[in-house]
Structure 1
Amino acid sequence: MELREVDARFERAFVTFVTEWDDDPDTAREGLPYYLYYAEIARIIANDIRTGNRVRLAPIMDLVEKLHIEGDEAAREGATIGLLEGIQASMLQSNTGLHIANMYLGRESAREWKKLIHFWDHKQSDAPREG
């Protein structure tokens, strides 16, 4: 099962994405910039987490978990970097606590979620300080 099959909003986002990018000259050379599609999906999921939309989140997060467990390396990377990291970025941008997502994450997704938090916390603590 693909993301577009889990939620009609994802299919609409995909159609819009392809329409916007299909005629771009760079697309012919480099292919579609799927990371932009994943970013839009992440924003939709983050909004569902913020609003507590359990009915919509259950099948979405089940698929994300399945990608982490059964997917090949590219699928796992897409689930972590494309989706989970994008969800975190969207939640942080809207000042939403990342802990709110914990109840929706499967076991493997939760593990990857925590790794991302640790990575970015560590990255920020290593950043040069001004002054």
Structure 2
Amino acid sequence: MFDVLLEVDPTFQPVWDAFLDKWRDQIELPLYLALGDLARHAVGKLESGRTDELQQIFTVVERWLADGDELVQEAATIGLLEDLQNLNLHKSTSPDQLKQWLGPLAARRWIEAERFWSGQIAKA
């Protein structure tokens, strides 16, 4: 999942390396935690005005949603998109500022997550 992401945003490499080092003894990596790291990384880019790579990051997310298996799609939605909506990650920004970089599939999942957390729909 992360190889393509690291190609488009090499600034995530130190975060990814620290994640791999921390979890090196695990048989299966807790990728949801890495996606949480990616969410914080993306919000940090937004907050600092370094938004160059956000389009490329979200192009990769769109690819995960379009081409990934069910587990990848779920991880991208729950592990990343829902984290990006977490107001606790945003100090001087808002989640809505990220919407401009969402592809069509990510935008649909984003809206579904918003509706779920506001109680408008039940999760299937």
Q: Same fold (TM over 0.5)?
A: yes
Match for residue 43 of structure 2? Answer: 46
For residue 32 of structure 1, report the CA deviation from its aligned partner. 2.3
Structure with the higher fraction of residues in helix conformation = 1
Distance 1:11 1:44 in 2: 11
Q: Which residue of 2, 19, 22 corresponds with 1:20?
A: 22
56-65 vs 66-75, which deviates more? 66-75
1:3 aligns with 2:5: yes
For residue 72 of structure 1, report the CA deviation from its aligned partner. 1.6
Equivalent residues of 2:66, 2:105 under 8 A apart = yes
* Equivalenced residues, count: 116
Max Rg structure: 1
Match for residue 113 of structure 1? Answer: 110
Identity among equivalent positions (%) equals 34
TM-score (norm 1): 0.76
Q: Which runs of 5+ in 1 are unaligned?
A: 124-131
Q: CA RMSD, aligned part only?
A: 2.0
Q: Which runs of 5+ in 2 are unaligned?
A: none
User: Residues 1-131 of structure 1 correspond to what in structure 2 (within 5 A)?
Assistant: 2-23=4-25, 27-28=26-27, 31-89=28-86, 92-93=87-88, 94-95=90-91, 96-122=93-119
Distance 1:67 1:17 in 2: 20
TM-score (norm 2): 0.80
Mark the CA change 1:120 to 1:66 in structure 2 (over 3 Å): closer, same or farther: same
For residue 52 of structure 1, report the CA deviation from its aligned partner. 4.3
Secondary structure of 1:54 counterpart = coil
For residue 103 of structure 1, report the CA deviation from its aligned partner. 0.9
For residue 8 of structure 1, report the CA deviation from its aligned partner. 1.4
